[in-house]
Amino acid sequence: MDMRALIGDNLKRYRHRAGLTQEQLADLSGFSQFYITGLERGRRNPTLITVYEFATVLGVSHVDLVRPTRAWLKAQSKAATASRRTAKATRRGAS
């Protein structure tokens, strides 16, 4: 499970629910819009304190930002299955 992607997806979802743009979230949180973009794309590695601060601004629990949704788990499962199939096909082709 890629926690960076999970946190980024949840951050974006809760930001949208709050009706905020990345710029507005940046103003409220004190983090740069560039940093928020990186988080939402799963390219940044937030600290627990950062997760807590975003949760506070968004009015949710810090746990909400790290909790996988059913849809997220389903997408991860499909990606893992596809990866295993690709690896299996590659091994068969190398034989």
Q: What is the pLDDT along the chain (95 residues), one digit of tens a residue?
A: 689 999 999 999 999 999 999 999 999 999 999 999 999 999 999 999 999 999 999 999 999 999 998 888 888 888 878 777 777 777 777 66
> Containing H/E element for 88?
helix 70-94
- 16/93 Cα distance (integer angstroms): 45
φ/ψ of 81, rounded to 5, equals -65, -45
**Residue 46 to residue 91: CA distance in whole angstroms:** 36
Q: Output the pTM of the full model.
A: 0.79
